[in-house]
Structure 1
């Protein structure tokens, strides 16, 4: 299994050559082909075209366990942020989180595996099961035909918390052997791969909140090199004393005591974000392979992706939105669409005034003022780190299916100076192209372009 930590200035899919402004200026290798829709299809290294379809969704989030539970919670406008349960938070200055309160790991995790793993891995195992079930995916006899590329931001926090407490109270002999694997941020990728027999090229992507989108970037590479199916996305479970302390040090968490006063992206009273747990795992497949196996349905198509890095001090916000806007432009060029073709942007929505202003700057630079509807659905659940951007992809696909843009939660006084068409109430809309954005602590920027599936169900 490959362990991947992204630390470069940009990451784009070959063979496109991108200018500093994020414009495609040249294509090397086999010439680009143009689809009937006008979208560019990038050939892989062997000269064949590759289309990546999303055929399965699995959700474990504060908004619900299962795709429809999550979606209906968003449409009802249910704020799933509340007081942290399980330990006393009075010493941390932070008391709110989005917790998955109706999750039964015994439904998805065998007892012998449960004792070896952390809560975040339980959630990944559950979401992977739900994604495969949704897709009607049965692993083929060729074990190397399925890969797992998940994102992780912090690893096995609760398991480590227990082991650290044992170490302090009783000494080294109290630390169990499973600590060595349960905390590791590649644990969920590994355990899903082992349990389900997926032996294709696999890895973990570490770019904090951007990781959920970056896993799609790696999936595209794996598929182009011959693996027809990949599980992507990720989950997180960072709500315990040890993990909360780590996140508090960022200075970006809301200290509000009431849920309705916390995590207000693009609002005049924005005061930081609220942490959360859970996320989503999605099954993506090469189009011909999906048809060949008789895939149950297609949620949408991944048509563009790009990532950049601010190349700035990791603890500070970037001085401007240049690299964030560049990531969006590169992903649109990769997808062969223009800003005018985009029907919706699912924003990162940091909830920190400085970061919200930068995101608005990037969006207006690419789309113009009020040039595209913008929503930030993570405001209903809390920011789930790598799991949050994966969950936003699932939300975008559901929005395309039903033709409804879910509202941004907790916004009372939007900052008009940002120039955004911020969706504050559910809005019916015919959605063909949706851009999902994400940023990770340390300067990571990622953009994913989705298109509604126009072809008949395979």
Structure 2
């Protein structure tokens, strides 16, 4: 099968509104998690979040488009512009049928929907925007990006919660291998409005701490939930040979992908994360020893952390590979989280540095992982594994390999 290269990246994150600012902050261990600022969250049990502040949507999108779009879609549209520019692709110079879009969203446009419901309750149906018919929908980012750039090739949307960003990249890779020259893919979520926050609180996995240094502690003995966040990343995927032929810069290749679904708890069968890792490694024709770093899911929930650490130990051996959870600096961005981790993994390959996991002070005894803590670790990174799990049993694993790595 042909190699699929990543030629463009665009990140939007709470600790950096664009790719290089996000990466600089992440390597330096600078967090974007703080108290929710857009409304008074004092009445809610969760009051911390990773907000993307000062996002310049109005500088990039027309005044006609802004009233039509939710916050997550504005981020996705700006990220699509940046990712295509980073790849050196001018959509206007290509056939629309040669370009596809695959995105993931865990919640859809909750903030837009809440605003229109408030209009309905307080003012009546005549004051509800006609754009409510699609602005809330999970697939809206794919549709709006396709319209903006004239991308008329295969499109898709994945709704697998946290795993969605990796699932979108796996699906995009399949489309490129099927002959689509360019596919823009990734995940973006922004569900921190009161309605969106309450929906997340009901899941029972959000931290109730008011201390940003103690609210999200993956693999720590004191782990007690995670911090929500907003943002994500989009990536441009192309056939590697075609990208080289046009002189494009490649960040690396999507070498392997695996996805599984957890069995029902009553069956007594093990979770599917280990199997997803094994599938991704086999797809990449890689051995466990080939992986230089794991970007872990890092749920911040004791039982889930224990299960992930067990899966890693079964595949790699206890503490046998560096593990990192840079999401401690952004919160968990739902579908945006794993595509943002994919960007971080590719930049780790580029710069030979593994970003840190913040605030973990008491690594749990039942989590035997070599966690990169507090400061970045400089080491050669040729191949990275990115993991993600979605609420309800979704598991995804992605192997990314440096362009110069060749076959293992």
TM-score bracket for the superposition, by shorter chain length? over 0.9
User: Does residue 421 in structure 1 map to residue 370 in structure 2?
Assistant: yes
Structure-to-structure mapping, 1:303-452, within 5 angstroms = 303-312=255-264, 321-424=270-373, 425-452=375-402
Deviations along 1:311-353, one digit per CA (max 9) or x if unpaired, are 326xx9x967541100000110010011011111000010111
Cα distance between partner residues in 1 of 2:290 and 2:246: 32
8 Å Cα contact 2:173/2:237 also seen in 1: no
Cα distance between partner residues in 2 of 1:223 and 1:136: 17
Structure-to-structure mapping, 1:104-119, within 5 angstroms = 104-119=56-71
Aligned length: 404
Gaps of 5+ in 2: none
Q: Which SS does the other structure have where 2:237 is aligned? A: strand
Partner of 1:35: none
Change (3 A) 1:67 1:370: same
User: Does residue 87 in structure 1 map to residue 36 in structure 2?
Assistant: no
* C-alpha deviation, 1:367, in angstroms: 0.6
Q: Which SS does the other structure have where 2:106 is aligned? A: coil
- Give the alignment partner of residue 164 of structure 1, picking from 103, 117, 128: 117
Structure-to-structure mapping, 1:21-170, within 5 angstroms = 49-139=1-91, 140-170=93-123
Cα distance between partner residues in 2 of 1:156 and 1:322: 31
Question: Normalised by the size of structure 1, how large is the TM-score?
Answer: 0.86
Gaps of 5+ in 1: 1-48
Deviations along 1:130-162, one digit per CA (max 9) or x if unpaired, are 111111111243111110001110011111111
Cα distance between partner residues in 1 of 2:149 and 2:52: 24
* C-alpha deviation, 1:365, in angstroms: 0.9
User: Does residue 212 in structure 1 map to residue 165 in structure 2?
Assistant: yes
Cα distance between partner residues in 2 of 1:306 and 1:455: 20
* C-alpha deviation, 1:292, in angstroms: 3.2
CA RMSD across the alignment: 1.5
Question: Normalised by the size of structure 2, how large is the TM-score?
Answer: 0.96
8 Å Cα contact 2:263/2:270 also seen in 1: no
8 Å Cα contact 1:321/1:359 also seen in 2: no
